[in-house]
Structure 1
Amino acid sequence: MPTIPQNAVLIPIDMQRAFDAAPWPARWNDRLDANGLALLSAWRAAGRPIIHVRHDSIVPGSTLGPGTAGNAHRPGFEPQTGEPLVTKSVNAAFIGTDLELRLRRLGADTIVLFGLSTDMCVSTSVRVGANLGYRVILVEDACDCFDLPDGTGGTIPAAEVHRVHVSTLRHEFAEVLRTADLV
């Protein structure tokens, strides 16, 4: 069982409603919400710090734009009292935000990430976090991603996109654990 410092920060990334409808493609992980909620519950019960990340798109017409229904957190993923929210407009949770400052003020050296989507905002945030010197833990079964066009008329299934990205992150940027390892 991994040792997780008491001040390790749980960072749910982009757990937003927009990803459940068009124009977003099909996803694969039907346990995303259950696993993410289990992590939040365990972290809160242990009194550990949580910093939520939400994507506030600046692209006109985006389903993730501030004030749109899709921008809202998925049910149960709303920050609770004392849990800060960091908003971003790019993939990396560290770019153009005060996330690193918040982590430094907490004295955190370990961050635990999950959310949407594995290959985009989660992966980018994992990579930047590792490059900044944090011990990064990716909770692979509390992440999800989308089917992607392969550029030749075919589709790469979301589960395969996820598997490849988790493998890359495990190789150089993060420890990869499952929800059961942490709750």
Structure 2
Amino acid sequence: MELKTNAALIIIDQQKGILQPRLGRRNNPQAEERIVDLLAYWRRTGRPVIHVQHLSRSPESVFWPQQAGVEFQERFMPQAGEQLIQKQVPDAFCATGLEASLREAGIEQLIIVGVATHNSVESTARTAGNLGFDAWVAEDACFTFDKADYFGHAHSAEEVHAMSLGNLHGEYATVVSTAQILKAG
């Protein structure tokens, strides 16, 4: 496992709205600290950072543009020289120009972190893999929420997270820990 010098860190939806208690119980309480660790490393080593911001089409969403939940959390504010991608669906590649900007910059390796594991992280990682990128998902730098399945059976955030990572690993992405990523650098 080798981390390329131009590997892009893609931070998905680290906006104020994701902290809303109404979203329910979550897993990985240390996920934001792991994202901060990776972001600090990326900035220190001059690797590309891409911030993904969700602009919901639904007024009920925590990411509705007309309220504070859509704003980035302070610790994840984009800095000069870092790219901002705004999306309206879970997949950060869909109608955003992300693929074109990565290809133009010659970036082939993507480290994907953020929220929610089963939603925007999984859909973005699936597309990354389908497009031929070397996608890594940092399992301890992502989190999700308790969720019922199609048949109404409740699953813990830990189970939802594990299933989503299982869907990705080996087919669309490589699932790794923050420590493995930093060690590979």
Question: Greater shift after overlay, 95-104 or 58-67?
Answer: 58-67
| AA matched with 2:26 | R
Output the CA distance in 1 between the equivalents of 2:129 and 2:83.
Answer: 21
Deviation of 1:149 after TM superposition, in Å, equals 2.0
Deviations 1:113-161 (A, max 9, x none): 0100000000000000111110101111000000002355542000011
Output the CA distance in 1 between the equivalents of 2:9 and 2:100.
Answer: 15
- 1:18 aligns with 17
- 1:66 aligns with 65
CA contact (8 A) 2:139 2:175 kept: yes
Output the CA distance in 2 between the equivalents of 1:75 and 1:60.
Answer: 23
Deviations 1:58-117 (A, max 9, x none): 112322011411111123111111101100000100001011111012100111101000
Output the CA distance in 1 between the equivalents of 2:54 and 2:129.
Answer: 20
Structure 2: state its 5+ residue gaps: none
Runs of 4+ in 1 over 3 A off after TM superposition: 150-154
Structure 1: state its 5+ residue gaps: none
Please give the root-mean-square deviation of Cα atoms over the aligned residues, in Å: 1.3
- 1:45 aligns with 44
3-state SS of 2:73 partner: coil
3-state SS of 1:15 partner: coil
Output the CA distance in 2 between the equivalents of 1:139 and 1:107.
Answer: 22
3-state SS of 1:102 partner: helix
| AA matched with 1:169 | L
CA contact (8 A) 2:20 2:62 kept: no
1:147 to 2:146 alignment: yes
- 1:116 aligns with 115
Aligned-pair identity (%): 37
Output the CA distance in 1 between the equivalents of 2:83 and 2:50.
Answer: 5
**TM-score with structure 2 setting the length:** 0.94
Output the CA distance in 2 between the equivalents of 1:63 and 1:4.
Answer: 34
Equivalenced residues, count: 182
Q: CA, structure 1 residues 153+125, in 2 after alignment: closer, same or farther (shift >3 Å)?
A: closer
| AA matched with 1:59 | S
1:33 to 2:43 alignment: no
Deviation of 1:19 after TM superposition, in Å, equals 1.6
| AA matched with 2:63 | L
